[in-house]
Chain A
Amino acid sequence: MSTLQTAFRRRTGTLLRVEDLVTHFVTAGGVVRAVDGVTFSLDHGKRLGVVGESGCGKTILARSIMGLLPHRNVIRQGSVLFEGTELTTMSLKDRQKIWGAEMAMIFQDPMTSLNPVMKIGKQLAEPLRIHLGSSRENARAIVLKLLEDVGIPEPEKRFDQYAHELSGGMRQRIMIAMALACGPSVLFADEPTTALDVTVQAQILDLIEDQCREREMALVLVTHDLGVVAGHTDQIIVMYAGKIIEVAPTASLFSKMKMPYTEALFQSIPKLEDPSHTRLTAIGGRPPNLILPPEGCRFSPRCPYATDKCRTIEPELQAAEPDHLYACHHPVGSDRWSEVQVSLGRRPGGH
């Protein structure tokens, strides 16, 4: 798969198909079931949001798809088809050809994601030199163009600077430029704005969105912030304790959420429209231990609607609409849900 070819390839249809992906870690304390059977697909040029609290397995899911995991003490099963090629059985050498060229990734903390002792320009040129075999001068020209594209003033000057001489937002722009260098067909963005200030976060999210559109690049946006995915994705996956519990197009997830967990997550966020001192609806307890996840539905210990059925039988993903799946015995709008809403003194229906 030469990158030059991909640049001219028509980008439609399924880009990535993940089937029943399992990623467990063997630790001294036991087997951590970080990702426990995840299935979804992503089309060319689409933007997918993966949302969940810390420890739900979203970051590990992204890295597991790319194959960027340690090689020992990891149990990985299932299949990842990228442009029809199986990634899970691919050798490290072949994966290294895809990393950076076809799939790129940016990370949460731009402070630590750049090599502190290597000049910015050299780091940026690296993927070009590796994957495209660019000459030094050629790479430099492309890098300067990239820096301009991601909105960095004085690219010539930045080329010879080190990461610590730049601000956080600037570093994240560098990371994005580096990811874009070889024109990948999908960008994994792992909490790209969590470490940034809110005004800078808005700029970076705009930048990612613009670049995805311009380059017809698919995006997997991993975040804990429902607000971030709401404005910047086409489709959303909600994860809880290593499982997908709800998948839906962005608009219908927010308007017709089915999972009590999604609902609770949404309600626990303080909102600017609400007057000051509005009582927040907190979710009791804390996310489960992934070594010994609860039986049945993994959210049942914290769920106000949980019944005995929830505690014993694990719900399967089912379709509310063809493109809206959820995994719950008593989804939002069900009888049980209304009953509990009334008993809690809330008005059932709507948020």
Chain B
Amino acid sequence: MDSSTLVSVSDGWVRTTTLTDTATLDPLHDEPTPPRFRRRGRITMWVSGAWLLFIVFSAVGASFLPYVNHSCDQFENEDLCTTHVETNPLLAERPPSWALFSETSRPVVGDAPERFGLFGTDTNGYDLFSRTMFGARNSLLIGALSISFGILIGGMLGLVAGYMGKRVDKIIDTIMNILLAFPALLLAIFIVGFFDSSTTTEAESRSIVPIVIALVILSIPPIARLVRANTIVFAQREFVLAARSLGAKNSRIIMREILPNVMPAMVTFAITGMAILIVAEGALAYLGLSVTAPTPTWGAMIFGGQTKLETAWWISIMPSIILFVTVLAINLLGDALSEKFRIREAIG
């Protein structure tokens, strides 16, 4: 065959660039994205990634990382040593050491410092920084577990509904509609309350299981819908038809032809979904319905400090900031990834 076709494959073809006449045109503004914008996107991506790495690392290693689990060397008085487990009434409600504008609301006793640590201390004298990192453990774990199961179940439902269509699609869609009709947070509250084995109000140590189940159920309908919509788009592409004419079975087509194409949307959604679920867990905790002692989650910490806003603002505000920054980082990362996939899609 003509060799020039092959030559042009190998020599310097920057991506596709069979510039169709209309491809580069778009009337009121410009796309493809200008280089400057994309570089900026990459920086946010790295910064967000680094922050998340730091949080995950601290959360996982909270019990032995020196900067989380303070060694007691810095204090002459052993009593002043605070870790996540020990209460220290001497250190109760101390503002962060940098907060020189904020006065301590409790009298200073003995050689206890007036201000303490990066984040200050809470009512029990726990170091808030340590608490926040221990809290990250539960918050992140709940978020990650819930979104994983959500993606697994919702993704499967969406793939099947989108590919099979017709009656299967109708049934799944109706179930999702019914799930959506229940007010989300109330549904979660109900489920958590339902699994609460204690008969009345005494909240004993509640495990993360009911919370994860509630959040999974919340996350299924949107994931299923997203995956379904994407599946329909790809199921109509001719390579699926080609696969069928080659004798591929439905399961093979779903797994090999459609799933890899739906994956980017799923990954992006999983990331932003995790942010939403971490926030939702916080809301549950805020209402007193999440994991209880010994280690709290971010939501519980924020709620716990609520009554102290006037005297010790940091108890609520410091974990709020960490939660905000983490959620922001997750969202930015998700957006950067979807942008990346979108560009690749446009090329493909």
**Do A and B originate from a single complex?**
yes
User: At the interface, yes or no: A32 with Cβ under 8 Å from chain B?
Assistant: yes
**Residues 25-59 of chain A, each 1 if its beta carbon lies under 8 Å from chain B, else 0:** 11111101010000000000000000000111111
Partner of B2, one of A71, A73, A284: A284
Given contacts A58-B21, A285-B8, contact A70 B14 (CB under 8 A): no
In the complex, how many angstroms separate the beta carbon of A75 from the nearest chain B beta carbon?
12
Contact of B19 with A34 in the complex, beta carbons under 8 Å: yes
Residue of B nearest to A191 (CB): B21
Given contacts A29-B15, A292-B12, contact A59 B21 (CB under 8 A): yes
User: Complex Cα distance A302/B35, Å?
Assistant: 32
User: At the interface, yes or no: A289 with Cβ under 8 Å from chain B?
Assistant: yes
A–B pairs, 23, beta carbons within 8 Å: A28-B33, A29-B14, A30-B14, A32-B24, A34-B19, A34-B24, A55-B18, A55-B20, A55-B21, A58-B21, A60-B24, A60-B25, A68-B27, A70-B26, A70-B30, A71-B29, A72-B29, A284-B4, A285-B4, A286-B18, A287-B18, A289-B13, A289-B17
Given contacts A285-B5, A286-B8, A291-B14, contact A70 B29 (CB under 8 A): yes
In the complex, how many angstroms separate the beta carbon of B69 from the nearest chain A beta carbon?
47
User: Complex Cα distance A291/B19, Å?
Assistant: 10
Chain B residues in the interface with A (C-beta under 8 A): 2-5, 7-8, 12-15, 17-22, 24-30, 32-35, 38
Given contacts A284-B5, A291-B14, contact A27 B24 (CB under 8 A): yes
- A290 cross-chain contacts in B, Cβ below 8 A: 17, 19
User: At the interface, yes or no: A317 with Cβ under 8 Å from chain B?
Assistant: no
In the complex, how many angstroms separate the beta carbon of A76 from the nearest chain B beta carbon?
13
Partner of A282, one of B2, B24, B29, B34: B2
Residue of A nearest to B21 (CB): A59
**With A59-B22, A72-B30, A286-B5 already in contact, 12 other A-B pairs whose C-beta atoms are closer than 8 Å:** A29-B15, A30-B14, A58-B21, A59-B25, A60-B24, A70-B27, A70-B28, A70-B30, A72-B34, A73-B34, A286-B18, A289-B17
Residue of B nearest to A27 (CB): B32
Most chain A CB atoms below 10 A, which of B20, B28, B35: B35
**Residues 96-123 of chain A, each 1 if its beta carbon lies under 8 Å from chain B, else 0:** 0000000000001000000000000000
Chain A residues in the interface with B (C-beta under 8 A): 25-30, 32, 34, 54-60, 63, 68-74, 108, 282, 284-287, 289-292, 301-302
Contact of A26 with B14 in the complex, beta carbons under 8 Å: no
- B21 cross-chain contacts in A, Cβ below 8 A: 54-60
User: Complex Cα distance A28/B30, Å?
Assistant: 12
Given contacts A28-B38, A302-B4, contact A63 B25 (CB under 8 A): yes
- A68 cross-chain contacts in B, Cβ below 8 A: 27
9 closest A-B pairs by CB: A285-B4, A59-B21, A284-B2, A72-B30, A73-B30, A55-B19, A284-B4, A70-B30, A29-B14
Given contacts A285-B2, A291-B14, contact A26 B25 (CB under 8 A): no
User: Complex Cα distance A302/B7, Å?
Assistant: 11
Most chain A CB atoms below 10 A, which of B7, B25, B33: B25
- A71 cross-chain contacts in B, Cβ below 8 A: 29-30
- B18 cross-chain contacts in A, Cβ below 8 A: 54-55, 286-287
- B17 cross-chain contacts in A, Cβ below 8 A: 29, 32, 289-291
- B27 cross-chain contacts in A, Cβ below 8 A: 68, 70
- A63 cross-chain contacts in B, Cβ below 8 A: 25
- A302 cross-chain contacts in B, Cβ below 8 A: 4
User: Complex Cα distance A266/B7, Å?
Assistant: 25
